[in-house]
Amino acid sequence: MFDDAQRRVRIPGVGAVALRKGRRVPDAFGRAWIVQRTGRWYLCVEYDIAEVQPRPIETLIGIDRGVHVLAATSDGKLIPNPAIGERRRSSTARSQRELEVVTVRSADGRVLNRHDRARRAAVQRLARSREREVNVRRDVIHKVSRALVDAYDAIAMEALNLRAMTRSAKGTVEKPGRNVKAKSGLNRRMLDASFGLLQRMIAYKAESAGTTIVAVDPRFSSQTCWKCGHRERENRRRRRFACRRCGFATHADIAAALEIRRRAQLALLSEPHAG
């Protein structure tokens, strides 16, 4: 079915088709299938990855994920949030308007010209615009997660409940929510930053690289000083952290990453066979 040397895939009933691929397909693999998405064809291959033993933990890093900064590391690096959705919002909105122009609806809102050629083309343009947004976001997260996994033996992150964090604030008719518009905007930025995607990509890359992942309690990590352990709400002022007891001061996200690393160190020390 697949010719790695010639970079072609043989499809029954169609013949050999040129293939553009980003990684080598191993000689021994399991299932392989072809899917179509937004007018393009993709080859999916399933194969086993050899088990890798965990590396000895000599370098441990704490990572704090945020909206303004995608990730801050305990060694002082700030990885910017590309905000792909915000950057591409106007392009996607334009494609959406073009679709509405060629859409004919009934009085109750049903689409009447679903199979019209012009409308189908507009649907395809909108789908590709959204696909480009997804692809760019995944590309950024792939590169960030790969760099982190390759550079450190252990990575500590907060065990965030993302479903609860991005829950709507609308409430109910009996108990309406507060600051609904602001919460909706925050949810959109958190989803655009792809907290969950970054965590998943780090996790599966770490598994194949022998990197240890440590999940720590996220509560009050942004208000706690990693040096003296003092926790106070006033320690943090927007993007600046300054401990009111010992005076330690730095970027708020870096301070949180340092506290995350400290909690991970305690967790590893409490394990009987920590590396």
Q: Contact at 8 Å (CB) between 156 and 261?
A: yes
- Cα–Cα distance, 230 to 235 (Å, whole number): 9
Average pLDDT on 66-74 reads: 90
Residue labelled with tokens 């598994």: 207
The single-letter DSSP state of residue 161 is: -
Alpha helices in the chain (DSSP H): 84-87, 89-101, 117-151, 162-165, 180-193, 195-209, 252-270
265: CB partners within 8 A, 6+ apart = 60
Which helix or strand (DSSP H or E) is residue 13 part of? Answer: none
Q: Which domains does the chain have, with CATH numbers?
A: 1-48 (no CATH), 53-82+133-270 (3.30.420)
- Cα–Cα distance, 49 to 207 (Å, whole number): 10
What are the pLDDT digits (tens) for 148-191? 999 999 999 998 876 766 666 565 545 555 666 666 666 676 77
Amino acid at 9: V
Neighbours of 220 (CB within 10 A): 13
- Cα–Cα distance, 157 to 215 (Å, whole number): 5
- The candidate with the shortest Cα–Cα distance to 209, out of 43, 17, 54, is 54
What are the pLDDT digits (tens) for 29-41? 788 888 888 878 8
What are the pLDDT digits (tens) for 92-119? 999 999 999 999 999 999 999 999 999 9
pTM recorded for the entire structure: 0.80
pLDDT, residue 11, reads: 67
Distance of CA 47 to the CA centre of its chain: 24
pLDDT, residue 275, reads: 44
Q: Structure tokens of 193?
A: 């930053």
Query: Mean pLDDT score of the chain, rounded to an integer?
Result: 85
